[in-house]
Structure 1
Amino acid sequence: MADITPAELHQRQQAGETPTIIDVREPWEHEEGCIVGAQNIPLGTLPEKLDDIDEWKNQEIIVHCKSGSRSASAKAFLTQQGFANVRNLVGGYQAFQQG
């Protein structure tokens, strides 16, 4: 699945959409600022959280981190685990904040 740009995510949120968003940053990073509605599941804990998110296997999931590299790893991992529609937020939370 193609990645998603911050502009596209902003546009979808403004249209009232509530996509499933996973913030793979550490809890302290999430507390400093986050995308509304994002669930914080740090990258290192993702393998043990698979049962909790199994119901999302066929839904679109947007993953993000600070700049996009940890979330790229999360996307690859989730795709390997059978999640069919995982998208990485290009540029991460930093880019999302800028608009």
Structure 2
Amino acid sequence: MSTPSSLSPAVLHRLVQEGRAPRLLDVRTPGEFRTAHIPGSSNVPLHTLREHRAELVGHLDEDVVLVCRSGQRAKEAERALAEAGLPGLRVLDGGITGWEAAGAPVERGPERWDMERQVRLVAGSVVLVTGLAGIVVPGAHLVGTAIGAGLTFAALSNSCALGVLLSRLPYNRGPRTDIRTVTAELRSTR
């Protein structure tokens, strides 16, 4: 499979200013999207995109740029959509973080923690608590060891099971994950 093409924030910003903006699909969780997103982008969370990619392909053309926090989830979304028959997608280089760093406009909502920060909090807390509990409860430290093994696997496989689980919590979900709402929005924005 080919590597997804990337688009720099500066080039995308220029296209937006010239009125030639591609369709922007933000694959972060609804909570992350509500915190900050590129004006005019549509939120299609990665888990929704994966589950309903065949349905979504019919609502997309080849002029699509995928956006996430840093680019990793967008690359996963590109692979899923390419497998469903939509080639030629692009990924925003550096994601929303790169977009903001370039000084491009962002629509802001209530502040929420992004997924990476949530993963660090949960993993670190489990390791800390089980490490301390291991002083009193023999073997409790092995839970922390399992978390460490999971994080190592996540780095090596470039996936994160803990992130997937956290994305399903009410804090990170929202009404936009319903496939009917997503496809209706995609139809109305073109």
Aligned to 2:43: 40
Normalised by the length of structure 2, the TM-score is: 0.49
Deviations 1:56-98 (A, max 9, x none): 1x42110010011111111111111110221011100000011
Give the secondary-structure state (helix, strand or coil) at the position aligned to 1:55: coil
CA distance in 2, matches of 1:38, 1:53: 17
Structure 1 unpaired stretches of 5+: none
CA distance in 1, matches of 2:66, 2:25: 5
Which of 25, 28, 35 is the matching residue for 2:28? 25
Alignment of 1:87 with 2:90, yes or no, is: yes
Alignment of 1:64 with 2:63, yes or no, is: no
Greater relative contact order structure (CA < 8 Å, 6+ sep): 1
Aligned to 1:78: 81
CA distance in 2, matches of 1:27, 1:49: 16
- The structure in which a higher percent of residues are strand is 1
Normalised by the length of structure 1, the TM-score is: 0.90
CA distance in 2, matches of 1:49, 1:36: 24
Deviations 1:28-70 (A, max 9, x none): 11001101111101101113333144131x4211001001111
Structure 2 unpaired stretches of 5+: 103-190
Which has the greater radius of gyration? 2
State the percentage of identical aligned residues.
32
**Offset of residue 14 of structure 1:** 1.0
CA distance in 1, matches of 2:100, 2:62: 25
Give the secondary-structure state (helix, strand or coil) at the position aligned to 1:3: strand
CA contact (8 A) 2:57 2:81 kept: no
Aligned to 1:55: 59
- The structure in which a higher percent of residues are helix is 2
Matched to 2:76, the amino acid is S
Aligned residues: 98
Alignment of 1:6 with 2:9, yes or no, is: yes
CA distance in 2, matches of 1:29, 1:55: 23
CA contact (8 A) 1:18 1:37 kept: no
State the superposition RMSD in angstroms. 1.4
